[in-house]
Amino acid sequence: MSDRVLAFDGIGQDFPAPGQRTKVRVLDGISFEVDRGKFVAVIGPSGCGKSTLLQMAAGLLAPTRGAVHHRGRKVTEINTEVGFVPQQAQLFPWKTLAENVELPLLLRGIAASERRERVANALASVGLTGFEQHFPNQLSGGMQKRGSIARTLVYRPDIILMDEPFGALDAQTRMVMQSDLQALSMDAGASVVFVTHDITEAVLLADHVVVLSQRPSRLLANIPIDLPRPRNMFEPFRNPGFEAAYDAVWIEFRSQIETGRVH
| Interface residues toward another protein, by CB under 8 A | 55, 58-60, 78-80, 82-84, 86, 88, 90, 92-95, 103-104, 107-108, 131, 134-135, 137-140, 142-143, 151, 155, 172-173, 176
Closest to another protein by CB, 113 vs 137, is 137
Specify the residue, 174 or 215, whose C-beta has the smaller distance to another protein. Answer: 174
| Cβ 54 to another protein shortest distance, Å | 10
Closer Cβ to another protein, 161 or 227, answer by number: 161
Which CB atom, from 90 or from 232, has the smaller least distance to another protein? 90
DSSP-assigned letters across all residues of the chain? --SEEEEEEEEEEEEEPTT-SSEEEEEEEEEEEEETT-EEEEE--TTSSHHHHHHHHTTSS--SEEEEEETTEE--S--TTEEEE-SS----TTS-HHHHHHHHHHHTT--HHHHHHHHHHHHHHTT-TT-TT--GGGS-HHHHHHHHHHHHHTT--SEEEEESTTTTS-HHHHHHHHHHHHHHHHHH--EEEEEES-HHHHHHH-SEEEEE-SSSB-EEEEEE----SS--SS-GGGSTTHHHHHHHHHHHHHHHHHT----
As measured in angstroms, the least distance from the Cβ of 153 to another protein is: 12
Any idea what DSSP says for residue 131? -
Q: How far is the CB of 170 from another protein (least distance, A)?
A: 9
185/85 Cα distance (integer angstroms): 13
Q: Specify the residue, 5 or 223, whose C-beta has the smaller distance to another protein.
A: 5
Position 175, amino acid = M
Rank residues 88 and 121 by Cβ distance to another protein and give the closer one: 88
- Closest approach, Cβ 138 to another protein, in A, equals 3
- Shortest CB 14 distance to another protein, Å: 20
Closer by beta carbon to another protein, 48 or else 139: 139
Of 30, 58, 40, 61, nearest to 212 (Cα)?
30
Minimum CB–partner distance for residue 71 and another protein (Å)? 16
Least CB distance from residue 160 to another protein, whole Å? 11
